[in-house]
C-alpha cells in the first residue's frame, strides 16, 4: 500500500464519491487544499488509479509557465484535440486559437471556456473522464479561468475534476474542498515504522517535530543514522533538512548539475533545458579559459561544441540524486520545494544569465518572458515584446495572462506616458478576465503615472467610471463620467445616471449630448434627456434613433435603443430591442458585456410572461456576473429573480432574493435595481390579493424619489399601482396614478402601450368598453390574461357569468402556462364562482421542464441544432442532447419535430375570438 493511504481514508472516500457520481453522469469537482508536502499529489494518484476504465487527463501548474497563456490548458487538452471537430464551430475556433492550432480568435473567453467544457465532454465517452489539475496555484490565469468555468458546469457530464492547490490560493466557484493536513498521529507513526523501521517512541518524536507532514516525515527519516532511527542516539537538533528539506541535497550537486537544475527551474522542456545547459556550459568554459590565459592569439576561438553533452551528463546526476526526473518531454522536480531550493541556491545574476540564454533559444511568448527575466532595469525593447505577447494572449481570450504581461511591460517601460497607457491596458485586460480588484489597482497606478496627458487621463477616467458602474458606487460613476467631454463619456454618464435614478443628471447630460453631430447615440442620449425634461423635441429624436435600428450591430447599441423605446412608453418595442441585444451578445465576442446584457434579456422575458425563461436567463446571468466580479449586475439578476418569485407566489424566495439585491444595490447607489427589488415585495402582495399592503408599498416606491423610487420602476409599475389602489378602495390614489401614467405614455404609439393604458382607464372609470379595447389591442398574452381576469371578475360580479367564463378560462390557461400560480388560483376560483363545471384546462406540459430544459426546447422550436444550442448557451453538445433525452419522456414525445410543435402551441397567444 502506498504511504499516502495511511490515515487518508476520509479523503480517499470523498474523491471516490466524486468519481463514482461522475461515472454515473452527475459530474462534479473537488479541491484538495494543503501545505507543501501534505500528500495532495499522492492522493490524486491514488484516486485516479481507482477510477477503473475512466479516461484520465492531467496537467500540473509549473511556476515557470504561470505567465504563459494557456500553457496548462495545452497540456491537458492536447491528447484529445482529435475531437475538436465535434464542437460547435464558434467553440471549436476559440479552442483552436487558444491552443495555437489556428491563428486569430475573437477574444471571447466565454466561448473558449464553453469549448473547453465541450471538448472534455467529448473526451468523457464512453466510460467517463477524470481531469486532474495539480499545483493549481501555478496554473496560468487563462487556463485557470477556462478550467474553472468547466468545473462549475459538470452537473450532467460524466466528468470529475480534481484540483490540488497549496495554501490559500483561490479556486473560485468549486464549493467542495477537502483539507489535507498532516497525517493523523497514529497513522504517521505507523508509516514511519512500516517504511523506515522507526520504533514508536522515536517515530512519535519525529511526528511532533514535523507536524506529521508526509514529505517531511519521509525526507527526515531517510537522513537519520541507523542509531538515531533505532533510538540509541538522540535526534539531531535541528532535524536535518530544516524548512527547505532539499537545500542540502541541492548544495551537494556538482556545479554542472546545479546549473541544469536552475535551467529546469526556469524552463521545463527537456530539449530546451539540454540546449540551454550546453550553451551556458560552453560560455562558462570560454570565460574560464579566457580568465586563465590572457595571451590567446587573435583569431583563436574556443571550440563551438565545447559544452556539448554537458547537459546530458548533468541530467544524469540530477536524476540519480532523486531530486528530479523525466515526465515525457519535461524535466519534472520530485516536489515543488526542490525548485524553490534550486532558486535559493542561485544568485540573481545566475538567474538572469539563464533567462538570457533561454531568450536566444525560444520565440514568441516564452522569448518575451525570458527577455523580461534577463532585463536589468527598464528596457523599452523588452517591454514592447511583452506587449506583443499580451496582444496574442488577449486575441485568444487569455485576459488574465494579458494583464500580467502588460503590467510587467509597464514596469520595464522608461517613458511615463507609455507606462501609464500600458497600465491602463492591463487594467482593461484584468477587468475582462474577471479580476476587478486587480483592475482597479492597475488603473489607480495608471492614473498616478499619466501626468499632464489630458487625453490619456480622460480615457483612464472613463474606465474608472465603467468599473464603478459595474461593481462600485453608481453615483460616483456619474460624477467621474460626467466630467468627460466626449459623446461616449456623456453616454456612459447618462447610463450611470439612469442606474442611479438621477433624472436631473440625465436631463443635463442629454442637453450636453445635443450639441454633438446627429447620429444614433447622440439622438438616443439627447432624446431621453429632453423627454424627461418635457421638451417637445425629445420624442422626435428618439423616433429618429429607433428608425436606425436596422443599422445597429452591437449589443450596447441595442440597449440604447431599448432605453429610447422605454422613454417613449413603448415597452413592447423595448422588449424587441432587448431580444436583439441578447441574440447579438451570444454570437459575437461579448466578453465583459454578456452578464450585463442578460440583465435586460431576463427583464424582457419576464415582462412578456415567459417566467421560466426569464428565470433561466437570470440564473445564468447571476452566475456569469459572480464569475466576472460584476456586483451591480448580480443585484440586477437577484432583483429580477425576486419579482419572478413574487409572480410564482413564493414568499420565502422573494424575500431572500430581494434582501440580497438590496444589500448590494443600496450601498452602491444602484437605484434601478433597488427599485426592482422593492417592486418585487409589492408585486408579491398584489399577486396574493393583499391589495392594501400592495398599495402601501407601491405608494412608498413612487414617493421615494431617486434611488428606490427610480423613474423607470415607477413608470413600469404604474398599471400594477392602479390595480392595487382600486383593490384597496383608494379611488383618489388610483386616479392620480392613472394621470401620471397618461403623461408618461403620451408619446407611445404601439398597440401594447395603448392596451395597458386602456386597462388602467377601465379600472378607474370603471369602463367595460376600455377593457374590451385593451383586449383588442394587447400583443402580450400575459398582460392580456391580466386584463381578461380583471374584466372576468367584473362581469361575474355584475351577474353575467356566461360572458365572464370565456375571459376567466383564457386567463386561467395563460397563467397556468406561465407558472404564475397565485393569479392562476385566483382565475380558477372566479371561474368556479361563475359556474364553470367543465373539464379543467389542460396542464401546461412545459411546466414539467426545468428552466434550462425550457430554454433548450425553445431553441429547438426555433430550428437550432444541438451544436448551435450549445454555442448559444455555453454548453457542450452532449449536455444539450442529455437534456433533450430528459425532455422527451417528460412531455410524452419522441422527436425534435414533436417538441417544436408542442412549444409553438404552448407559446401561441390566445386568439382574439377566445378572449371575447
Same domain, 198 and 171: no
Burial of 184 (0-12, 13-18, 19+ CB in 10 A): middle
The C-alpha atoms of residue 437 and residue 460 are separated, in whole angstroms, by 16
* Per-residue pLDDT band at 590 (split at 50, 70, 90): low
Q: Quick one: which H or E segment has residue 319?
A: helix 310-321
Share of the chain above pLDDT 90, in %: 56
To the nearest 5 percent, what fractions of the chain are helix, strand and coil?
70, 5, 25
Checking if the pLDDT of 582 tops 90, the result is no
HEC sequence for 535-561? CCHHHHHHHHHHHCHHHCCCHHHHHHH
Same domain, 271 and 420: yes
Same domain, 168 and 196: no
* Per-residue pLDDT band at 193 (split at 50, 70, 90): confident
Tell me the backbone φ, ψ of residue 34, rounded to 5 degrees: -170, 170
Q: Which three cell numbers stand for residue 813?
A: 390557461
Scan for cell 510587467, then name that residue.
Answer: 408
The C-alpha atoms of residue 171 and residue 134 are separated, in whole angstroms, by 12
Burial of 161 (0-12, 13-18, 19+ CB in 10 A): buried
Pairing of strands 177-179, 159-166: unpaired
* Per-residue pLDDT band at 211 (split at 50, 70, 90): confident
Checking if the pLDDT of 4 tops 80, the result is no
Q: Is residue 841 part of a domain?
A: no
Same domain, 103 and 204: no
Burial of 441 (0-12, 13-18, 19+ CB in 10 A): middle
CB within 8 Å of 614: residues ≥ 6 apart? 602, 603, 604, 605, 606, 640, 644
What value does the mean pLDDT take over residues 90-116?
Answer: 84
Which residue, 135, 154, 179, sits at the end of a domain?
A: 179
Checking if the pLDDT of 14 tops 90, the result is yes
Q: What angle do CA 465, 470, 474 make, to 5 degrees?
A: 60
Tally of structural domains, the chain: 4
Checking if the pLDDT of 301 tops 50, the result is no
Range of lowest pLDDT (106-110, 392-396, 460-464, 878-882) = 106-110
Range of lowest pLDDT (452-456, 481-485, 724-728, 848-852) = 848-852
Q: Is residue 395 part of a domain?
A: yes
Classify 60 as helix, strand or coil.
strand
CATH code, 894: 1.10.10.10
* DSSP alpha helix (H) spans, 399-435: 399-412, 416-432
Same domain, 111 and 217: no
Burial of 10 (0-12, 13-18, 19+ CB in 10 A): exposed
DSSP characters over 466-517: HHHHHHS-HHHHHHHHHT--SHHHHHHHHHHHHHHT-HHHHHHHHHHHTTSP
Checking if the pLDDT of 173 tops 90, the result is no
In this structure, are residues 335 and 164 in contact, taking their beta carbons and an 8 Å threshold? Answer: no
Same domain, 190 and 316: no
* Per-residue pLDDT band at 587 (split at 50, 70, 90): low
Dihedral Cα 357, 362, 366, 367, nearest 10 deg: 60
* Per-residue pLDDT band at 306 (split at 50, 70, 90): very low
| Closest alpha carbon to 808 in 843, 844, 836 | 836
Dihedral Cα 314, 316, 317, 320, nearest 10 deg: 160
Share of the chain above pLDDT 70, in %: 93
How many Cα atoms within 13 Å fall on the side-chain side of residue 195? 21
Q: Quick one: which H or E segment has residue 819?
A: none
Checking if the pLDDT of 293 tops 90, the result is no
Beta bridge partners of 134: 60
Residue 298: predicted pLDDT: 36
Give residue-wise pLDDT tens across range 219-244: 888 888 888 888 888 887 677 755 46
DSSP characters over 715-758: HHTHHHHHHHHHHTT-HHHHHHHHHHHHHHTTT--SHHHHHHHH
Residue 707: predicted pLDDT: 72
Which residue, 458, 474, 490, sits at the end of a domain?
A: 474
Start-to-end CA distance of the chain, whole Å, equals 79
* Per-residue pLDDT band at 283 (split at 50, 70, 90): confident
| DSSP code at position 413 | -
In this structure, are residues 278 and 311 in contact, taking their beta carbons and an 8 Å threshold? Answer: yes
Checking if the pLDDT of 418 tops 60, the result is yes
In this structure, are residues 277 and 259 in contact, taking their beta carbons and an 8 Å threshold? Answer: yes
Classify 267 as helix, strand or coil.
coil
Q: What angle do CA 507, 757, 743 make, to 5 degrees?
A: 30
- Number of helices (H), then strands (E), belonging to the chain: the values are 48, 7
Region at 806 (left for phi over 0; alpha for psi -120 to 50; beta for the rest): alpha
Pairing of strands 324-327, 330-333: antiparallel
What value does the mean pLDDT take over residues 21-44?
Answer: 92
Residue 894: predicted pLDDT: 87
Give residue-wise pLDDT tens across range 361-389: 999 999 999 999 999 999 999 999 999 99
* DSSP alpha helix (H) spans, 588-705: 594-607, 611-628, 631-648, 651-665, 671-687, 691-703
Q: Is residue 494 part of a domain?
A: no
Tell me the backbone φ, ψ of residue 148, rounded to 5 degrees: -70, -35
Same domain, 175 and 189: no
How many Cα atoms within 13 Å fall on the side-chain side of residue 33? 13
CATH code, 32: 3.40.50.300
DSSP characters over 517-530: PSSHHHHHHHHHHH
| DSSP code at position 184 | P
Give residue-wise pLDDT tens across range 247-273: 888 989 999 999 999 999 998 889 999
Checking if the pLDDT of 843 tops 70, the result is no
The C-alpha atoms of residue 552 and residue 72 are separated, in whole angstroms, by 39
Q: Is residue 538 part of a domain?
A: no
What value does the mean pLDDT take over residues 344-360?
Answer: 93
| Tally of CB atoms within 10 A around 295 | 5
The C-alpha atoms of residue 123 and residue 283 are separated, in whole angstroms, by 47
* Per-residue pLDDT band at 700 (split at 50, 70, 90): very high
* Per-residue pLDDT band at 287 (split at 50, 70, 90): low
Q: Is residue 673 part of a domain?
A: no
* Per-residue pLDDT band at 591 (split at 50, 70, 90): low
What are the angstrom distances between the C-alpha of 341 and each of 251, 262, 323, 344?
Answer: 9, 10, 10, 5
Same domain, 208 and 109: no
Checking if the pLDDT of 485 tops 50, the result is yes
What are the angstrom distances between the C-alpha of 378 and each of 68, 372, 384, 648?
Answer: 21, 10, 11, 62
Q: What angle do CA 386, 392, 394 make, to 5 degrees?
A: 100
What value does the mean pLDDT take over residues 513-531?
Answer: 95
| DSSP code at position 39 | S
Q: Which three cell numbers stand for residue 872?
A: 448559444
Q: Is residue 503 part of a domain?
A: no
In this structure, are residues 133 and 72 in contact, taking their beta carbons and an 8 Å threshold? Answer: yes
The C-alpha atoms of residue 688 and residue 704 are separated, in whole angstroms, by 24
* Per-residue pLDDT band at 910 (split at 50, 70, 90): very low
Whether residue 238 is preceded by a cis peptide bond, meaning omega within 30 degrees of 0, is: yes
What value does the mean pLDDT take over residues 596-615?
Answer: 88
Same domain, 226 and 353: no
CATH code, 271: 1.25.40
| Tally of CB atoms within 10 A around 266 | 24
Q: Is residue 899 part of a domain?
A: yes
Residue 209: predicted pLDDT: 81
pTM of the predicted protein model: 0.84
Q: Quick one: which H or E segment has residue 113?
A: helix 109-123
Residue 18: predicted pLDDT: 96
Residue 3: predicted pLDDT: 40
What value does the mean pLDDT take over residues 392-410?
Answer: 91
Residue 245: predicted pLDDT: 73
Q: Is residue 665 part of a domain?
A: no
Q: Which three cell numbers stand for residue 374?
A: 534577463
| Tally of CB atoms within 10 A around 884 | 18
Residue 1: predicted pLDDT: 37
**Cα 362–chain centre separation:** 34
How many Cα atoms within 13 Å fall on the side-chain side of residue 865? 7
Rg from Cα positions in the chain: 33
Same domain, 130 and 202: no
Residue 139: predicted pLDDT: 94
Residue 611: predicted pLDDT: 87
- Burial per residue of 65-75, b for 16 or more beta-carbon CB atoms within 10 angstroms, e otherwise: bbbbbbbbbbb
How many Cα atoms within 13 Å fall on the side-chain side of residue 138? 12
What are the angstrom distances between the C-alpha of 701 and each of 254, 678, 716, 791, 888?
Answer: 78, 7, 12, 27, 45
**Cα 883–chain centre separation:** 22
* Per-residue pLDDT band at 706 (split at 50, 70, 90): confident
| Tally of CB atoms within 10 A around 226 | 9
Give residue-wise pLDDT tens across range 116-162: 999 999 999 999 999 999 999 999 999 999 999 999 999 889 999 99
The C-alpha atoms of residue 143 and residue 895 are separated, in whole angstroms, by 38
Which residue, 179, 210, 245, sits at the end of a domain?
A: 179
Same domain, 40 and 156: yes
| DSSP code at position 129 | E
Domain span at residue 170 reads 3-179
* Per-residue pLDDT band at 180 (split at 50, 70, 90): very high
Same domain, 406 and 354: yes
Amino acid at each position: 500500500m502506498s504511504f499516502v493511504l495511511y490515515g487518508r481514508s476520509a479523503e480517499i472516500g470523498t474523491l471516490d464519491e466524486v468519481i463514482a457520481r461522475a461515472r454515473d453522469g452527475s459530474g462534479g469537482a473537488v479541491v484538495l487544499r494543503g501545505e507543501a508536502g501534505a500528500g495532495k499529489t499522492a492522493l490524486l494518484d491514488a484516486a485516479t488509479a481507482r477510477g477503473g476504465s475512466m479516461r484520465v487527463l492531467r496537467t500540473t501548474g509549473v511556476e515557470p509557465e504561470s505567465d504563459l497563456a494557456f500553457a496548462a490548458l495545452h497540456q491537458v487538452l492536447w491528447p484529445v484535440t482529435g475531437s475538436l471537430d465535434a464542437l460547435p464551430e464558434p467553440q471549436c475556433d476559440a479552442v483552436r486559437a487558444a491552443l495555437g492550432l489556428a491563428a486569430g480568435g475573437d477574444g471571447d473567453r466565454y466561448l473558449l471556456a464553453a469549448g473547453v467544457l465541450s471538448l472534455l465532454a467529448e473526451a468523457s465517452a464512453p466510460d467517463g473522464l477524470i481531469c486532474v489539475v495539480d499545483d493549481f496555484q501555478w496554473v496560468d490565469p487563462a487556463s485557470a479561468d477556462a478550467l474553472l468555468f468547466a468545473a462549475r458546469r459538470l452537473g450532467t457530464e460524466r466528468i470529475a475534476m480534481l484540483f490540488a492547490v497549496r495554501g490559500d490560493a483561490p479556486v473560485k466557484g468549486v464549493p467542495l474542498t477537502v483539507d489535507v493536513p498532516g497525517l493523523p498521529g497514529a497513522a504517521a507513526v505507523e508509516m514511519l515504522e512500516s517504511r523506515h523501521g522507526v520504533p514508536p517512541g522515536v517515530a512519535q518524536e519525529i511526528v511532533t517535530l514535523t507536524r506529521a507532514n508526509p514529505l517531511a516525515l519521509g525526507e527526515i527519516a531517510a537522513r537519520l543514522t541507523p542509531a538515531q532511527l533505532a533510538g540509541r542516539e538522540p535526534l539531531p537538533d535541528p532535524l536535518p533538512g530544516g524548512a527547505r528539506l532539499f537545500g542540502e541535497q541541492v548544495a551537494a550537486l556538482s556545479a554542472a548539475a546545479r546549473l541544469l537544475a536552475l535551467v529546469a527551474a526556469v524552463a521545463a522542456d527537456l530539449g530546451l533545458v539540454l540546449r540551454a545547459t550546453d550553451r551556458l556550459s560552453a560560455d562558462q568554459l570560454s570565460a574560464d579559459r579566457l580568465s586563465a590565459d590572457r595571451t590567446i592569439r587573435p583569431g583563436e576561438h574556443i571550440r563551438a561544441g565545447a559544452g556539448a553533452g554537458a547537459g546530458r551528463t548533468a541530467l544524469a546526476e540530477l536524476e540519480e540524486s532523486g531530486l528530479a526526473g523525466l515526465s515525457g518531454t519535461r524535466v519534472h522536480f520530485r516536489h515543488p520545494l526542490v525548485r524553490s531550493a534550486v532558486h535559493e541556491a542561485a544568485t540573481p545574476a545566475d538567474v538572469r544569465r539563464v533567462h538570457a540564454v533561454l531568450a536566444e533559444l525560444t520565440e514568441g511568448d516564452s522569448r518575451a518572458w525570458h527577455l523580461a527575466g534577463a532585463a536589468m532595469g527598464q528596457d523599452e525593447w523588452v517591454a514592447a515584446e511583452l506587449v506583443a505577447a499580451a496582444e496574442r494572449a488577449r486575441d485568444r481570450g487569455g485576459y488574465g495572462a494579458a494583464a500580467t504581461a502588460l503590467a510587467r511591460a509597464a514596469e520595464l517601460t522608461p517613458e511615463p506616458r507609455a507606462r501609464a497607457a500600458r497600465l491602463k491596458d492591463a487594467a482593461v485586460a484584468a477587468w475582462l478576465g474577471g479580476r476587478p480588484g486587480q483592475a482597479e489597482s492597475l488603473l489607480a497606478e495608471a492614473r498616478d503615472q499619466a501626468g499632464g496627458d489630458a487625453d490619456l487621463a480622460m480615457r483612464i477616467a472613463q474606465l474608472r467610471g465603467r468599473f464603478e458602474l459595474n461593481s462600485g458606487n453608481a453615483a460616483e460613476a456619474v460624477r467621474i463620467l460626467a466630467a468627460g467631454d466626449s459623446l461616449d463619456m456623456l453616454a456612459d454618464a447618462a447610463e450611470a445616471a439612469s442606474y442611479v435614478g438621477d433624472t436631473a443628471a440625465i436631463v443635463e447630460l442629454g442637453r450636453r449630448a445635443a450639441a454633438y453631430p446627429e447620429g444614433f447615440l447622440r439622438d438616443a442620449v439627447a432624446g431621453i434627456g429632453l423627454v424627461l425634461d418635457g421638451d417637445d423635441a425629445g420624442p422626435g429624436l428618439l423616433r429618429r434613433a429607433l428608425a436606425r435600428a436596422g443599422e445597429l450591430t452591437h449589443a450596447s447599441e441595442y440597449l440604447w435603443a431599448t432605453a429610447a423605446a422605454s422613454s417613449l412608453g413603448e415597452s413592447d418595442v423595448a422588449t424587441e430591442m432587448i431580444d436583439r441585444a441578447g441574440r447579438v451578445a451570444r454570437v459575437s465576442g461579448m466578453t465583459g458585456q454578456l452578464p450585463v446584457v442578460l440583465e435586460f434579456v431576463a427583464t424582457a422575458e419576464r415582462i412578456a410572461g415567459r417566467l421560466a425563461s426569464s428565470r433561466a436567463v437570470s440564473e445564468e446571468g447571476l452566475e456569469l456576473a459572480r464569475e466576472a466580479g460584476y456586483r451591480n449586475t448580480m443585484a440586477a439578476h437577484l432583483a429580477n429573480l425576486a419579482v419572478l418569485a413574487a409572480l410564482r407566489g413564493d414568499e420565502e424566495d422573494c424575500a431572500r432574493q430581494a434582501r440580497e439585491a438590496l444589500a448590494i444595490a443600496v450601498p452602491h447607489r444602484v437605484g434601478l435595481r433597488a427599485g426592482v427589488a422593492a417592486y418585487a415585495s409589492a408585486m408579491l402582495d398584489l399577486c396574493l390579493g393583499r391589495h392594501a399592503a400592495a398599495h402601501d408599498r407601491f405608494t412608498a416606491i413612487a414617493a421615494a424619489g431617486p434611488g428606490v423610487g427610480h423613474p423607470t420602476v415607477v413608470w413600469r409599475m404604474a398599471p400594477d399601482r392602479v390595480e392595487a389602489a382600486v383593490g384597496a378602495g383608494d379611488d383618489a390614489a388610483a386616479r392620480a396614478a392613472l394621470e401620471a401614467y397618461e403623461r408618461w405614455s403620451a408619446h407611445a404609439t404601439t398597440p401594447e402601450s395603448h392596451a395597458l393604458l386602456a386597462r388602467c382607464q377601465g379600472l378607474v372609470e370603471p369602463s367595460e368598453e376600455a377593457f374590451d379595447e385593451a383586449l383588442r389591442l394587447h400583443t402580450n398574452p400575459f398582460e392580456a390574461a391580466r386584463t381578461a381576469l380583471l374584466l372576468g371578475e367584473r362581469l361575474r360580479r355584475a351577474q353575467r357569468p356566461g360572458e365572464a367564463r370565456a375571459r376567466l378560462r383564457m386567463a386561467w390557461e395563460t397563467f397556468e402556462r406561465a407558472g404564475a400560480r397565485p393569479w392562476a388560483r385566483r382565475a380558477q376560483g372566479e371561474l368556479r364562482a361563475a359556474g364553470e363545471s367543465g373539464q379543467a384546462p389542460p396542464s401546461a406540459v412545459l411546466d414539467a421542464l426545468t428552466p434550462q430544459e425550457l430554454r433548450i426546447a425553445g431553441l429547438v422550436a426555433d430550428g437550432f441544432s444541438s451544436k448551435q444550442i450549445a454555442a448559444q448557451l455555453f454548453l457542450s453538445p452532449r449536455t444539450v442532447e442529455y437534456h433533450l433525452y430528459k425532455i422527451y419522456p417528460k412531455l410524452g414525445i419522441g422527436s425534435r419535430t414533436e417538441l417544436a410543435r408542442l412549444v409553438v402551441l404552448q407559446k401561441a397567444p390566445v386568439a382574439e375570438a377566445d378572449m371575447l
